[in-house]
Structure 1
Amino acid sequence: MPRLENLRMSHNQLNALGQGVFNNASGLRYLDLSSNKLHVVEQHYFQGLWRLEELLLFNNKITQVEAGTLSGLSSLKKAYFSLNQITHFPFFTIQDHSHPFLTMLDLSSNRMSRLPWEDVKALPGLVQRGLYLHNNSLICDCSMYSVFWHWDLRGYDSLKDFTEEHTCSIYGDPRASIQFLRHTRFFQNCTVEKAVSLPVTVLLSRVLVSEGETVRLDCQTSLSSTDLSFTWLSPSKGYLTQASINDTLISLFPNGTLEIEAAKVNDSGLYVCTAVDIEQALNATREVNVTVLQPAAESFNTGYTTLIGCVVTMVVILMYLYLTPCRCSYCKQPTPPVIPNATYDPCTLSSVFSPSLRDHPKMQADKHVAFMDPMINEDGTEWTPES
Structure 2
Amino acid sequence: MLMTSTSCVVLISLLVRLSGAICPQGCLCISDILNCGSLGLDRFPNPLPFTTSVLDLSHNRLTWLAAGSFYELPRLHTLQMSHNRISLLSPGAFHNISSLRYLDLSSNKLQALGKYRFQDLPALEVLLLYNNRLTRVESNTLMGLGNLRMVYFSLNQITDFPFFSIRKHSHPNLVTLDLSSNHLFRLPIDDIVVLPVAVQKGLFLHNNSLECDCSMYRMFWHWEQKGYPSVKDYKDDYKCLMYGEPQISINFLRSSHFFENCTIGKIISLISPKADKIVYEGEQVRLDCTGTLNGEDLSYSWITPHQENISQLIQNGSLRLNQDGSLDILAAQSIDSGVYQCTAVDNTRMINESREVNLTVVAQHSMEGSFNTGYTTLLGCVATLVLILMYLYLTPCRCGCCKPPPPSPAISTFGEDRCTLTSIFAAPSTDRLKSKSQTDRHVVFLEPLMTGKNGHPKAAFVVEQSTIEWDTENFTIVRERNDSE
TM-score, structure 2 normalization: 0.41
Aligned to 1:97: 169
1:58 and 1:3 map into 2 onto residues whose CA distance is 26
Matched with 1:194 is: 269
Name which of 208, 218, 241 aligns with 1:169: 241
**C-alpha distance in structure 2 between counterparts of 1:189 and 1:76, whole Å:** 40
Query: Paired residue for 1:119, among 183, 187, 191?
Result: 191
* Distance in 2 between residues matched to 1:184 and 1:198, nearest whole Å: 22
The answer as to whether partners of 2:116 and 2:143 remain within 8 angstroms in 1 is no
Alignment of 1:129-278 (within 5 A): 129-171=201-243, 175-191=247-263, 192-197=267-272
Letter of the 2:75 partner, please give it: R
Code of the aligned partner of 1:81: F
Percent identity between matched residues is: 54
One-letter identity of the residue aligned with 2:85 = Q
The residue that corresponds to 2:120 in the other structure is 48
Distance of 2:270 and 2:158 partners within structure 1: 32
Pick the aligned partner of 1:81 from 141, 153, 164: 153
Q: How far has the Cα of 1:237 moved from its partner?
A: 7.0
The alignment status of 1:64 with 2:139, answered yes or no, reads no
Q: Are 2:219 and 2:271, in contact at CA under 8 Å, matched by a contact in 1?
A: no
Q: Distance in 2 between matches of 1:246 and 1:3?
A: 69
Q: Which amino acid aligns with 2:211?
A: I
Deviation at 1:189, TM superposition (A): 0.7
Q: Per the alignment, do residues 173 and 18 of structure 1 end up closer, same or farther by CA in structure 2, a change over 3 Å counting? A: farther
- Aligned CA distance change for structure 1 residues 174 and 158 (closer, same or farther; 3 Å): farther
1:110 pairs, out of 158, 175, 182, with 182
Structure number with the bigger relative contact order (C-alpha 8 A, sep ≥ 6) is 1
The one-letter code sitting in structure 2 at the alignment partner of 1:116 is: P
The CA RMSD measured in Å over matched residues stands at: 3.1
User: 1:104, 1:127 within 8 Å by CA — same for their partners in 2?
Assistant: yes
Per-residue deviation at 1:107? 0.2
Q: Does the 8 A contact of 1:20 with 1:44 survive in 2?
A: no
Letter of the 1:154 partner, please give it: K
- Separation (CA, whole Å) in 1 of partners of 2:129 and 2:117: 12
Is the CA contact (8 Å cut-off) linking 2:209 and 2:241 kept in structure 1?
Answer: yes
Q: List per-residue Cα deviations over 1:164-200 (Å, max 9, x = no partner).
A: 000001128884111111111111111425243389x
Return the alpha-carbon distance in structure 2 between the equivalents of residues 196 and 237 of structure 1. Answer: 34
Question: CA separation of 1:175/1:49 partners in 2, compared to 1, >3 Å: closer, same or farther?
Answer: same
Unpaired runs of at least 5, structure 2? 1-72, 275-359, 368-372, 378-485
1:101, 1:174 → 2: CA distance? Answer: 44
Structure with higher helix content: 2
SS in structure 2 of the partner of residue 135 of structure 1: coil
Change (3 A) 1:196 1:246: farther
Which residue identity is paired with 1:62?
L
Among 76, 97, 109, which residue is 1:37 paired with? 109
CA distance in 1, matches of 2:212, 2:124: 36
Q: Letter of the aligned partner of 1:68 in structure 2?
A: N
TM-score, structure 1 length as denominator? 0.51
The aligned counterpart of 1:4 is 76
Would you say how many aligned residue pairs link Structure 1 and Structure 2?
Answer: 216
Cα offset, 1:2, TM superposition: 2.5
Q: In 2, distance between residues paired with 1:2 and 1:55?
A: 19
CA distance in 1, matches of 2:245, 2:177: 27
